[in-house]
Amino acid sequence: MVFLLGILFSGFLASGQDLRTESASILGEWTTAEGKAIVLITRCDSSYCGKIVWLKEPLKNGKPVVDSKNADPKFRDEPILGMTFLRGFQYDGDGDYIGGKVYDPESGETYSGKLRLVDAKTLELRGYVLIPLFGRTETWTR
């Protein structure tokens, strides 16, 4: 009987751990620091990615805002709304999502990136060149 309770209790703890992990996930919608956009973070194959699903100002001169500063001319007419601009983030098991790339449509530049879930409603995105020391952090909210 004690053995059976031990198995049931350990199963309860394991499922509780899974729920806490899932509830603290970076998956879902996040409002950027200045409120200019909402980003949807999802799984993309074996990594995490983020797509712009809402823009405060989606139109310019009556037309969708496009990626006009992209270094590659063939993408300069692509709308920013719907753009996947976070790619390749992997959970490191220690609270950070690392190894990803962040494309900044305002500058047309791509940076290395790191995501950190501060709490269930706060996410930090750090974009940097070479090492995280040389970068900038933005705080997003759920």
The CATH number that applies at residue 56 is 2.40.128.520
Does any domain span residue 112? yes
> In total, how many domains does the chain have?
1
Average pLDDT, the chain: 85
Does any domain span residue 17? no
Does any domain span residue 8? no
Does any domain span residue 12? no
Q: Which domain holds residue 47?
A: 26-141
What are the residues whose beta carbons fall under 8 Å from the beta carbon of 83, sequence distance 6 or more? 51, 52, 67, 103, 105
Does any domain span residue 2? no
User: For residue 79, what are the β-bridge partners?
Assistant: 66
| Residue 27: HSE in the Cβ half-sphere, 13 Å Cα cutoff | 8
Helix (H, G, I), strand (E, B) or coil at 11: helix
**What's the CA dihedral at 25, 111, 31, 119 to 10 degrees?**
40
Q: Is the pTM of this model over 0.75?
A: yes
Alpha carbon distance 11, 127 (integer Å):
39
> How confident is residue 22, by pLDDT bands cut at 50, 70 and 90?
very low
pLDDT in tens, 44-54: 999 999 999 99
Does any domain span residue 14? no
Does any domain span residue 84? yes
